Amino acid sequence: EQKRRDKAKETMDIFAPLAHRLGIRAVKEELEDLSLRILDPVAYTEIEEALALREGERNAFIERMKQRITEKLKS
């Protein structure tokens, strides 16, 4: 278990920032997610639940914006 935590910390401290500097945002975010899941599972779960609760709001907002953009493009 300690070895996993050490690797997760190394990933968070070295590889995620490196991916950011290289402009690989998706990789950076994935590395951070995986590391946080190991380093602080409680915080990871809280964030995951908070995002799930707001998913409907985000999707509704995106749909409204898509409709507005479509209407503007038609006019």
Domain boundaries, the chain: 2-74
pLDDT of residue 20: 97
pLDDT at 16: 98
Q: Please say if the pLDDT value at position 75 is more than 90.
A: no
Please tell me whether the overall predicted TM-score, pTM, comes out greater than 0.75 for this model. no
- CB-CB contact of 31 with 19 (8 Å): yes
**4 CB-near residues (< 8 Å, 6+ apart):** 38
Sign of CA dihedral 38, 39, 45, 47: negative
Using alpha carbons only, give the angle 52, 58, 59 rounded to the nearest 5 degrees: 100
Predicted confidence (pLDDT) at residue 66 exceeds the cutoff of 90:
yes
Q: For residue range 8-55, list pLDDT tens digits in order.
A: 999 999 999 999 999 999 999 999 999 999 999 999 999 999 999 999
